[in-house]
Each structure stands twice: as C-alpha cells, then as structure tokens.
Amino acid sequence: MRKFTSDIDEKDFGKEIVLYGWVHEVRDLGGLVFVILRDREGFAQITLPKKAVDREMFRRARKVRRESVIRVKGVVKAEEKAPNGFEIIPSEFEILNEADAPLPLEVTEKVPAELDTRLDNRFMDLRKPRIQAIFRIRHVMLQSIREFFDRHGFIEVNTPKIVSTATEGGTELFPITYFEREAFLNQSPQLYKQTLMAAGFERVLEIGPIFRAEEHNTIRHLNEAVSIDIEVSFTDHEGVMSYLEELVRYIHEKVNERCGRYLEWIGAKVEIPDTPFTRLSYDEAVEIAKRKGEEINWGDDLSTSALKFIAEEMDGYYFIVDWPTESKPFYAMPHENDPEISKTFDLMNGWLEIASGAQRIHIHDLLVKRISEQGLNPDSFGFYLEAFRYGMPPHAGWGMGLDRLVMAALNLPNIREAVLFPRDRQRLVP
C-alpha cells in the first residue's frame, strides 16, 4: 500500500508499505546503510542491514546518488532515533531515475546558496522542505480566500489579461503584438470589475495575474504578480475595508489551524491580528515622517524611507486612509465636503503595502472630468465609460497582492521567496 511519509504512524508498525520519493542522504556504515527518503510530506529512514537484506539491493542502496528518485517497499518498524520514530526495512529498493552528479544546488541546505543561485536552479530549490512549506501555506491562503468570499455571497470571475488600453494610464505597460494591432498585458482588472457592477453582479472576486512594467529592483516588487481583487455594489470604502481586515484575520486563523507542520519547517509563527485595524490618516502619516526628518510635501506619495519611519510607530496591520485625490487613480471618489481628499486607503504591514482600495466614482460626468484632469483621453476608455451611462450603482473595492501577503505573514526577506518562478527586470527564466 502506497503512503506518504506523514501518513505513517504506530498502527503501521509491522505492516508492509510502499514509499516513493527522492534520496535525501545516504549514510554508509559498512555493514549498515541508511537511506533517508524524502517525499513532499517529510522524511523516512530506510535501514538496510547487510546481513538481513538482499545483497544486490544492499549494493544498489549504498551506491545510489543523492536526489535520485526511488521506490521502496518494506516493513515499518519502530525506531526512536529515526525521523518520525520509525524506519523501513526494505524488501524492494528500486531506482526509478538516477540523478547526475554533482548536484547544481545542495538540497540538504548544509551549504547555503545565494537567492539568485537558488532561483537559477529553482526546481532543485523547491525540493527543500522549508521552501515547499511556503507554497503549501500559500495554497491554504488561497483556499481560505475563496472560502471567505463564498461565505459572503461573492461570485468569482475571470477578466481579460490582454487589453487595448491602460487601466490607470501611464506608461507602465507591457505592449504585445495582437494580430494587426498593439495590445497590452493588463495592469489590473479594475475597469472590468467595475463594469460588472453595472451588470448587476454586486459582489465579485478575482484571483489572477497582473503585469506592471515598472523598472524596480527591490525586495518587494515584481513585474508579474498575483492580485486578489474584489468589487462590491451599494457600499463605500469603509464597507470594503471591513471585508479586507476580516479576510486577513481569517487567513491567519486558517494558516494557524491547518499549517502547523509547515510553519515548523519554516520556523515561522503567524500571529492572528486583532480587528478592526488602526486607521491612520494620510495627514497623520506625513506628520510622523516629517517629525522623524523625512522631507515630504502634502500630496506626495510616501517613500520607502517615510513608510519605514511610520512603521516604527505602528504595530502589525494598519490602514493609511484619506489620501489626496490627485495622488490616487482617476476612479477614486473624492469626499463630498473636501474634494481634495479621496475615499481611499492602503493596507500596510509595517512598511509594506499589502492592498489598496477606494470607493469608486459612479457618476459618469465626474468620472470623465477626473480622467481629463489626469491628462488622459476619455475616448480611450469608451467601453468602460459606457457602463456608467445606464445605471451604475455606488460601489467600492480593492486589490491585494497575494505574494506580498505571503511575504508579510511568513516574514520572508524577499518577495521572490513567495513566488514559484518570479518575474522581475532581470529574470525571465526559469
């Protein structure tokens, strides 16, 4: 009977099982060989006493190269000194595919490697239990997100990633040849999810890739990322902020409930945040940064150094709210009593921005005015603006970076650690 290493317990002692996996280590003590088999769930010790097993099998096991793929059939036996408290005495030891030597990357992590070296050999890097654990936790996060929004009546959608115009204007777009025309990889599902509010969907969720041609080279930026986006009708910015903070709390709860062994592999502890999150106004954030020596003019975006100063006075997750209207995209709703301030927010964890959102402008003429004020041509947004002419409800929404959420929750030093095959300015393969 085939099992994963994590499935084996005391009730299997004395029974015959089959394991598949990779050779993690081989220890040859002369008359005794130990092969440590690694599968996606952990480790098992394969013990081959020379006098008790087939001679050819013993020879094969002592010569097998690390990272070769093997199949082992044998009897489970209690052994306190072995990983997980058991060992396998094999009756069959089959090498399904022998690995070349030397290895391009050390999987046991006895020899540390730089991140670039690891990413160049990502298929090997991903074999490490510590690295696999990140993506097992990411999987649970995605499960939790879908559970949360399904419970709240959201419809999951998939919008186009090849578009004819920029979502937010600007030049940070990847152009592509689309038959006889130029098209772009989408920066955000923003225009489409708003259009779905005009279609009467009311609450939508999208989890999908976004592409930004920003020439960053930082520990928190990528040019292809996974975004979690929602849009909700008949609410304002406060309404969707409530969804956001409750979602973040729910995700952390589920990771703690379901990922204990993977958190141990990483050596991480996930704290469940208290809700509601603190609201810090843009003006208050600017004052903190200025007090600590940062030169910043009202209306400027907050630099990394300013955000780090602000983070010194804030714990965990918090919102920066009420941003200057001119600093936010054209679709952000200004406050009625103070149009220079918009109904916008960023969700922060320390100095790291996790999500950004707003109540949207739902009035056609005001939206056209804001598009023009930002130096954009309303004619470029034809299909989008048309949806606002025939009954667009008030609505709000946000987009959250899944990769940044994983980075923040697990306290990873670089966002590339949270992505299977990251794409940045330098990296297009693997």
258 is catalytic: no
138 counts as catalytic:
no
Q: Is 214 a catalytic residue?
A: yes
Whether 237 is a known active-site residue: answer: no
Q: How far is CA 247 from CA 197, 273, 394, in A?
A: 21, 11, 22
Among 237, 404, 416, 417, the one annotated catalytic: 404
Which candidate in 79, 202, 214, 238 is catalytic? 214
Measured N-to-C along each axis, helices 282-291 and 304-311 cross at an angle, to the nearest 10 degrees, of: 90
User: Which residues, in sequence order, are CB contacts of 106 under 8 Å at separation 6+?
Assistant: 113
Q: Which residues sit opposite 43 in a β-bridge?
A: 38
- Identify the burial level of 389 via C-beta atoms within 10 angstroms of its C-beta, where 0-12 means exposed, 13-18 middle and 19 or more buried: exposed
Residue (of 49, 13, 17, 44) closest to 32 by Cα position = 49
Q: Which of 126, 226, 173, 223 lies closest to 427, judged by CA?
A: 223
From the candidates 62, 212, 370, 395, which is the catalytic residue?
A: 212
Catalytic hit among 87, 206, 231, 353 = 353
Question: Among 65, 220, 258, 423, which one carries the catalytic annotation?
Answer: 220
Q: Specify whether 212 is catalytic.
A: yes
Nearest to 342 by CA among 354, 330, 353: 330
CA dihedral 156, 161, 138, 71 (to 10 degrees): 110
Phi, psi (5° rounding) for residue 394? -55, 140
Which among 356, 360, 370, 417 is annotated as catalytic? 356
Annotated active-site residue in 60, 146, 221, 427 = 221
Cα distance between residue 392 and residue 198, in whole Å: 5
Which one, of 204, 208, 211, 205, lies nearest residue 227 by Cα? 208
Q: Tell me, yes or no, if 404 is annotated catalytic.
A: yes
Q: Is 221 a catalytic residue?
A: yes
Give just the sign of the alpha carbon dihedral 134, 135, 136, 137. Answer: positive
Can you read off the two tokens belonging to residue 232? 């909700």
d(CA 8, CA 340): 63
Residues designated as active site: 212, 214, 220-221, 353, 356, 404
